[in-house]
Amino acid sequence: MSEPTINQRLKFLIEHLSTSVRAFSESIGDSYSNTQNYIGSRQLAPKHEYIAKVLKHFSNVNARWLLTGEGEPFTGEAPAAPANSNTRKNKGPVPQTTDSRAADHAQLANCQRDLEATKKEAAGYQREIALLESQLKDKEEIITLLRAGSHRSN
């Protein structure tokens, strides 16, 4: 089997942190589409700015591992590797740790990131709904004016 690519290591990192691609992207300050493109491609390597954002936000990620695949994925107080294959819907493996407080804290942080991402997404949908409602109102007004104009005698 071939050596994992940096793209596969990014995907592993997201899954191991039990976060969504969207929450991961927002936490590092990059776009969802960039992250999605990087983890979904073997040829499109992440730009160095992107990698710097990942390493800056996740200080416990081993830069050497992320860049080359050498060494362990995490340094210092790393999240524990999943001990079994339990999964949450679209969120990757459920972390199994011996320190339940650390696991609870990590899970809470992930939930908070997901909540913030969802709130931003909901706000975007609300703006889009308001715009569509405004357009619908304008169209109804135009229809009313056209109907009124068609009943006039020339």
Q: Please report, for the chain, the start and end positions of each structural domain, with discontinuous segments joined by +.
A: 6-150
Report the candidate in 42, 35, 6, 34 with the shortest Cα–Cα distance to residue 19.
35
**Rounded Cα distance, 66 and 70, in Å:** 8
> Which structure tokens are listed for 10?
């990014």
Is the entire prediction scored with pTM above 0.85? no
User: Rg (Cα) of the chain, in Å, rounded?
Assistant: 23
Q: What's the pLDDT score for residue 115?
A: 86
Q: What kind and span of H or E run contains 92?
A: strand 92-93
> Which structure tokens are listed for 150?
């068609």
pLDDT digits (tens, 9 = 90+) for 51-98: 999 999 998 999 999 999 898 998 875 554 333 333 344 444 444 444
**Rounded Cα distance, 74 and 148, in Å:** 71
